[in-house]
Amino acid sequence: MKLKGEKMADELVSQQYEDLASSDSATQMRIAVGFKLLNVSLYGTLESHADDSKELLIMPSMNYDAEPFTLVELVDGLNSFLKGITGKEWFTKDGILNSLKKFLNETNLDSLKISIQQVFLHVKKPKSGESTTEYAFSLKISKDSNAAPKDFTFASIDSLAFGIWNTNNVRILSNMDLLSIKQLLE
């Protein structure tokens, strides 16, 4: 049985071959990629355009059995991956911790075990000029991390997830369950 991401990758490859076969413009290149980021299998596409610009797209795919990492390992892994593509680091442990402190009790935040559930990454590198990067990560806090939302004492927690994103792409945010409460109610 194929996971959603694997099905998307197969559909992506099929569509790419059709697109390439019907193109009469200048030679371009598109490759479907399967790779691992922090032991999570991901699929995406890499394009090289006639104007020497490049584009990378990793679409959301669910990873049900993703291995959990500490916050430091997660930040280091994501930054290493993104720096290889964009040339800069995007996250800091303190930045993510400060965001989590707004919602979670501060007990043992350094020892949180976090797994990647879904990933979206879209990088455009023109031949000259600034690159643009859009991302969204849906992350799950492991049950044994003892993390609990602030002022949430009336029930036990079965699962706890959070997202980090800079994209405004509603389709991606919807697929990754990262819509705001306002958007969910519209």
Divide the 186 residues of the chain into consecutive groups of 10 and give the mean pLDDT of each group: 51 51 66 80 85 84 75 85 81 81 69 83 87 87 64 62 86 85 82
Cβ 57 vs Cβ 44: under 8 Å: yes
Cα–Cα dist 85/73, whole Å: 19
pLDDT at 20: 47
Cβ 123 vs Cβ 135: under 8 Å: no
Which of 80, 139, 78, 135 has the alpha carbon at shortest distance from 113? 139
Cα–Cα dist 119/65, whole Å: 14
What are the φ and ψ backbone dihedral angles of 15, each rounded to 5 degrees?
A: -65, -35
pLDDT at 180: 82
pLDDT at 131: 84
Place of tokens 């959603």: 4
Per-domain boundaries in the chain: 4-185
pLDDT at 14: 52
pLDDT at 63: 65
Cα–Cα dist 48/43, whole Å: 17
